[in-house]
Structure 1
Amino acid sequence: MLDLFSQWNKFLGNRMFFVVLIPLFIGFFYPIETTKSWSMAATLCFTYMTFNASLDTSLKDFVKRLSNPLLPIYELLFIHGVMPFLALVIGLVFYPGPENEFLRLGFILGATIPVGVTSILWSQMVGGDVSLAMVTVTLDTLISPLLLPVFIAAVVGKTIHINTVSLLANLLWMVFIPGLLGMIIHDTTKGAYDKYTHSIGNFASKLCISVVIYVNASAIAPEINWNHSIIKLLMVILIVSCSGYILGFLSSYILKGHKREQMVAMIYNIGMRNNALGVVLAITYFPPAVALPVTLSMLYQQPLAAVVKILVESFYKRRHTTKESHCSLI
């Protein structure tokens, strides 16, 4: 049975682009009503995916990373320093002038919101450093209730109140508890559940991520007015979205002792954002034009994550082949 699920998991793993794209389009054209039940289902899917990813992670490694958080802090500098600046520059290039001020603010807000929890899941699927991804998400969620109000007040002179309790509760149920439980099981059983995670566990995670994408796509579908004027905006948002993943790749090469696991985690941490929070902030505190870039960025995040998976695996496969060819010549 495990072998069968392993084959199914491998089948879906090689087609992650379609695993995320199909529910995205279904959500747009056949949306469901986003009730509390569906929101709870999406939350449970997140919880399960974090638990499954943490079954591959040592609690000792997590604590070690948490006790020496220089690398996560290094990531946060790119996430909340370099990336918002890039978004501002891109906004000024494509949407100059005072009449586009709100659109530019939308780009900046989308680049400043916390790291998305799904960065942990993609890191695990692509063989990244899950402990690094989890520590970065944890630290970023903890500082965001302080950082976001300061940032928005500095940019637009408007003080806002972030629901800290809600943010921390989401972090607790979607990351802390399932992650901690999975890591404890990993260390207690000495990785005895590896066969489960690489078969039934990962297969179920891929189904769960499809559910999450479908629910999110259904939620944003009514907010999008599909017309010719939105094409340019979609192209610019694509540039901003790609910039995050590229920045994650480049930032990993600045460090000494470059490692694949570290690079993968940094790509997804710096490239992915908690867009649901960004949409809520934009709709609650700003005009609709600010919410538009944040909402539309949800179109790209998961498909681009799947493309990154393909590119990383292709890059290292080609690199391995080159090394083997060089060794055979020697």
Structure 2
Amino acid sequence: MMREFGLAFNRHFEKWMFIIIPGSLVLGFIFADQLQSFIPFVPYLFAYVTLTMAIGCGLGQLRVVMKRPGIMALTFLIAHVLSPLVAYGLGILAFGADSPYVVGLVLFTIIPIGVSTVLWVGMSGGSVPLMLAMVVLDSALSPLVVPAGIQLFFKSAVEVEAGPIVLDLLVIIVLPTIIGVALNQFSRGRIQHAVAPYTSPLSKLCFVAVVSLNASAIAPHLDKLKQDMAVLVPLVILLVGLCYAFGYIGTASLRNDEQQITVSYATGMRNISLGIVLALGYFSPLAAVPVVLSILIQQPLATLHHYVLQKLNKGKGGESAATHVR
């Protein structure tokens, strides 16, 4: 009975995720005072979310990516080079080079690909194995990519030591990823089917908790934001939308719908909870605001992107997205 309940919970959560996640953010603001004392648990909750994701990926799926180094390199180039450059430029134009909002905008683009991309890629007709493997690899590379990106764009303008960031990323991303992949490999892939009805619902609840707790950490600074929202909200919407577009347009020359769909979600959706953890832990609380806003924007835009992809596929006379899932 618990198994059926867990599977049903997962289905309903994924169906209404674009409402649940922003709702969790709002609840975090409303109950900020009550949640403040639980904020130190965020890294551990996030580590569990990462572990659950990694259990679904074995060495075989990682080999799939290694056989497609070109598409992987192109994805990471768009996601972590082109997008940060655009974020930096937009941030400077809107707020000036010294604004903490610029740090937040760039941080959004250099954090790893989001776990929820796997869900959207599956629904839209992309390659689920390729997406899952890229999420794992991008997460594993984050201790190198994130500090290097911050140093490249801000250098001495942002006083933060790379060492603690790397250590945190190793604990909350890399170590759970290694354990998850190892469990998948040793069980020959059977562990995910066996534990998913129990671990996945708990992972979803942990994800909701991470979002709410991080929102509660930002709540005391809301008064400072009111005058900036009229500019910041449209800017974040534009940036997130451009990230989706860069992935789709940047792979048009491949003439492969499956890869185009996969990359567009990979470049558009980021591991926002990790971004908030890093922003609040190492930068000004205001630097976390663009990352928090992207929670409200990323999932609704994923829904819109899914709708546009279906229209484009119909326009090409393609099959329905469901027949493409591998």
Q: Which residue of 1 is the match for residue 230 of structure 2?
A: 231
Which among 107, 111, 121 is matched to residue 115 of structure 2? 121
TM-score, normalized by length of structure 1? 0.76
Q: Which residue of 1 is the match for residue 266 of structure 2?
A: 265
Maintained 8 Å contact 1:130/1:265: no
Q: d(CA) in 1 for partners of 2:318 and 2:151?
A: 50
Residues 1:170 and 2:168 aligned together: yes
Partner-residue secondary structure (3-state), 1:190: coil
Maintained 8 Å contact 2:80/2:110: no
Partner-residue secondary structure (3-state), 1:224: helix
Maintained 8 Å contact 1:83/1:112: no
Q: d(CA) in 2 for partners of 1:237 and 1:264?
A: 17
Q: Which residue of 2 is the match for residue 48 of structure 1?
A: 48
Q: Encode CA deviations 1:113-143: one digit per residue, 9 max, x unaligned.
A: 67435x3421333344121112123224214
CA gap 1:235/1:305 in 2 versus in 1, 3 angstroms: closer
Q: Which residue of 2 is the match for residue 107 of structure 1?
A: 102
Partner-residue secondary structure (3-state), 2:57: coil
Q: Which residue of 2 is the match for residue 296 of structure 1?
A: 289
> What is the correspondence of 1:57-76 to structure 2 with a 5 Å cutoff?
57-62=57-62, 65=65, 70-76=70-76
Unpaired stretches in structure 1, ≥5 consecutive residues = 284-290, 326-330
Residues 1:240 and 2:243 aligned together: no
Residues 1:135 and 2:137 aligned together: yes
Q: d(CA) in 1 for partners of 2:63 and 2:165?
A: 22
CA gap 1:141/1:251 in 2 versus in 1, 3 angstroms: farther
Maintained 8 Å contact 2:184/2:190: yes
CA gap 1:150/1:7 in 2 versus in 1, 3 angstroms: closer
Maintained 8 Å contact 1:249/1:263: yes
Unpaired stretches in structure 2, ≥5 consecutive residues = 123-127, 321-326
Shift of 1:221: 0.9
Partner-residue secondary structure (3-state), 1:57: coil
Find the structure with the greater CA-based Rg.
Answer: 1
Shift of 1:279: 4.7
**Partner letter of residue 25 of structure 2?**
L
Maintained 8 Å contact 1:48/1:205: yes
**Partner letter of residue 172 of structure 1?**
L
Shift of 1:80: 4.1
Partner-residue secondary structure (3-state), 1:168: helix
CA gap 1:123/1:159 in 2 versus in 1, 3 angstroms: closer
Shift of 1:174: 1.9
Maintained 8 Å contact 1:49/1:205: yes
TM-score, normalized by length of structure 2? 0.77
**Partner letter of residue 83 of structure 1?**
S
Shift of 1:43: 1.9
Shift of 1:67: 8.8
Which among 207, 212, 216 is matched to residue 205 of structure 2? 207
Partner-residue secondary structure (3-state), 1:78: helix
**Partner letter of residue 102 of structure 1?**
D
Q: Which residue of 2 is the match for residue 29 of structure 1?
A: 30
Q: d(CA) in 1 for partners of 2:51 and 2:272?
A: 22
Partner-residue secondary structure (3-state), 1:274: helix
Which among 217, 220, 224 is matched to residue 218 of structure 2? 220
**Partner letter of residue 277 of structure 2?**
A
Q: Encode CA deviations 1:277-303: one digit per residue, 9 max, x unaligned.
A: 2455542xxxxxxx63x3321332223
Task: Answer with 190-199 or 24-33: which moved more.
Answer: 190-199
CA gap 1:137/1:124 in 2 versus in 1, 3 angstroms: same
Maintained 8 Å contact 1:234/1:296: no
> What is the correspondence of 1:71-90 to structure 2 with a 5 Å cutoff?
71-90=71-90
Q: d(CA) in 1 for partners of 2:68 and 2:218?
A: 39
CA gap 1:298/1:262 in 2 versus in 1, 3 angstroms: closer
CA root-mean-square deviation: 3.4
